[in-house]
Amino acid sequence: MKTIHFFAFVLIGTLTSCIQPDPTMRTISPDVLKDKIAGGWAGKMLGVTYGAPTEFHALGRTFDDSIRWTPKDAIGSLTQDDLYVQLTFLMTMDQYGIDAPAKKYQELFARSGYMLWHANCQARKNYFDSIFPPRSGAPDYNFHANDIDFQIEADYIGFMSPGMPNSALKLADKIGHIMNYGDGFYGGVFLSSLYSEAFFEKDLRKIVEKALLSLPAESDYAKIIRDVLELKDKNPTDWRAVWKVIEDKWGKTHICTAGEAFNIDAKFNGAFIVIGLLYGNGDYMKTMEITTRCGQDSDCNPSNAMAILGVINGFSHLPEPMKKAVTDMQDSLFIYTNYSFRKAVDNTYKYAVNHVKAEGGSVTADKISVRIQAPVPAPLEVSFPKMVLSEKVSIFDEKRWKLSGNWQTMDLPDENTAVKAKEAKFAGKKGDALEFAFEGTAISLEGNWKKDAGKAELYIDGKLHSTFDTYFYYNKQEQTPINICHAMHLSSGKHILKLVVTGDKKPESLDSKIYVSDALVFNEK
């Protein structure tokens, strides 16, 4: 009998161990999942309108003026690019499936009808110049590769990837490289991972630390977020002290706006999101206020921070005035889209459920089981290694430029004084050329993309580096000033840049002019 009892005990113990719950699985009810997705979208809408009046009003300083906002102002989110741009990608999924190629996502984005700026605008131009992903976001073809663009439009990726940061990374890799690379790409990876983690974790510090694991530790993006975490430990209650250190250390590292106080860098603004989250300590108003007061892109940053709180707590736990404001407009369409808040929630939930099933989870009428993923870092990408601005030289500095051919000065009226202000020099005949001697490892020429612009060749030290086209007139939008061409990874030392007008142009361009305003010279750190 004792022997029988012993083997029975062993058998029962074995069976018990076999039916222990899988530690990689977490459950969530369909209603809670949908509520959290709704909280994310609502937070995005509330946060962007809170900060909208302050956007880029505080450059290199904190925003210390009064902030007037009520939840009813959320109606303004219907016209915010933080929403309608990423909804274009959802519309692409709806039409062509989530597995549509990156080029198809780029196409609908490029032909969307709304205006774009920085990395997004370059990605649009690249599409019409037959430069497709991932080249369209790469530094050789997009001098805005580290900009904030993907960071502010990757929310839906995290919303549809509960507890699955690697699934989010896979989708981010395809869509994020349409317009960004390196730290610009990591901005979208980090934000989508923050959302992924927020579905099953409430501790903000833990969410940030877990999302960091989706980034390569060597990246500057990971470094700046680690800086914020370490500074928070040293300054438990003083967010301004942390802001000051981050500003002093990282505020002048941006590339596309090098030398300016204006900073559209993804990692820099990402640090402000984390500052707002950690010092806001879960309070909606305090989180939005701190993130906004950090300055720079101060509508996008509180929008992201508030969306993270929305996922953590769900729509049902928002303050009543906030819930009412969003509910009252839930069927209103975001401009340029066929999406409303209600449709965004419904479709994101649908994609989230499919994502869960595709990654080994299960879905029933009353329970969703998610196979939780341990974050795997994205591969290391560095957009502009060791580049730091050494000088910015105006085309009107006659001692530095050698012009040949028929270069003319373009004058634009100053809106306030009606006094003509020099903006650029231009030439449009085949063979018109300019030379610029410099000492550095990289150079960018700034000028204008216009409806009467054409093509030119860029030579470095007598060798053809690239041929580029400066025509741009989409939806009546031109860009000025903008990077028109650049050369990187040069040997340290003296070089001569030469630009030659080809006289060629696209059929739709009104002329073949090339506009040049400045040269930005970079050296290694």
C-alpha closest to that of 144 among 116, 177, 180: 180
Please check the confidence at residue 13 and state whether its pLDDT lies above 50: no
∠380-89-316 over CA atoms, to 5°?
Answer: 95
Residue 195's φ and ψ, nearest 5 degrees, are -65, -45
pLDDT of residue 272: 98
Q: Per-residue pLDDT tens for 210-237? A: 999 999 999 999 999 999 999 999 999 9
Please check the confidence at residue 1 and state whether its pLDDT lies above 50: no
Q: Per-residue pLDDT tens for 89-129? A: 999 999 999 999 999 999 999 999 999 999 999 999 999 99
pLDDT of residue 525: 86
Q: Per-residue pLDDT tens for 130-161? A: 999 999 999 999 999 999 999 999 999 999 99
In angstroms, rounded to a whole number, what is the distance separating the alpha carbons of residues 270 and 212?
Answer: 12
Per DSSP, the residues of 366-433 read S-EEEE-----PPPP--SSTTEEEEEEEETT-TTTEEEES--EEEEEE-TTT--EEEEEEEE-STT-E
Write b or e for each residue in 35-53: b if 16 or more Cβ atoms lie within 10 A of its Cβ, otherwise e: bbbbbbbbbbbbbbbbbbb
Q: Is 393 exposed, middle or buried (0-12, 13-18, 19+ CB in 10 A)?
A: middle
C-alpha closest to that of 480 among 430, 421, 434, 428: 421
Residue 210 neighbours by CB distance under 10 Å? 20
Sign of the Cα torsion 68, 73, 78, 79 reads negative
Confidence of residue 421 (pLDDT cuts 50, 70, 90): low
pLDDT of residue 423: 87
Residues 210 and 201: beta-carbon distance below 8 Å = yes
Q: 423 or 67: whose pLDDT is higher?
A: 67
Tokens of 70: 């009520």
Q: Mean per-residue pLDDT for 467-477?
A: 96
Tokens of 197: 């983690």
In angstroms, rounded to a whole number, what is the distance separating the alpha carbons of residues 212 and 522?
Answer: 30
Residues 144 and 178: beta-carbon distance below 8 Å = no
Whole-number average pLDDT of the chain: 94
| Alpha-carbon dihedral 466, 481, 273, 276, rounded to 10 degrees | 160
3-state secondary structure of 318: coil
Please check the confidence at residue 35 and state whether its pLDDT lies above 70: yes
Confidence of residue 420 (pLDDT cuts 50, 70, 90): very low
In angstroms, rounded to a whole number, what is the distance separating the alpha carbons of residues 212 and 375?
Answer: 9
Please check the confidence at residue 10 and state whether its pLDDT lies above 50: no
pLDDT > 90 in the chain, percent: 91
Q: How far does the chain reach from its first CA to its final CA, in angstroms? A: 80
Q: Per-residue pLDDT tens for 307-322? A: 999 999 999 999 999 9
Say which range, 169-183, 260-274, 414-428, 490-504, has the weakest mean pLDDT: 414-428
Tokens of 217: 């530790």
Q: How many CA atoms lie within 13 A of 89 on its CB side?
A: 29
The arrangement of strands across the sheet holding 433-439 comes to 401-404, 433-439, 494-501, 455-460, 463-469
3-state secondary structure of 468: strand
pLDDT of residue 22: 76
pLDDT of residue 390: 97
Question: What residues contact 45, with CB distance under 8 A and at least 6 apart?
Answer: 74, 77, 80, 83, 303, 326, 341
Write b or e for each residue in 270-289: b if 16 or more Cβ atoms lie within 10 A of its Cβ, otherwise e: bbbbbbbbbbbeeebeebbb
Write b or e for each residue in 213-224: b if 16 or more Cβ atoms lie within 10 A of its Cβ, otherwise e: ebbeeebbbbeb
Confidence of residue 372 (pLDDT cuts 50, 70, 90): very high
Confidence of residue 414 (pLDDT cuts 50, 70, 90): low
Please check the confidence at residue 367 and state whether its pLDDT lies above 80: yes
Q: Which domains does the chain have, with CATH numbers?
A: 32-365 (1.10.4080.10), 387-524 (2.60.120.260)
Confidence of residue 24 (pLDDT cuts 50, 70, 90): confident
Scanning 129-178, the segments in alpha helix (DSSP H) are 149-152, 155-159, 165-176
| Alpha-carbon dihedral 453, 103, 147, 312, rounded to 10 degrees | 150
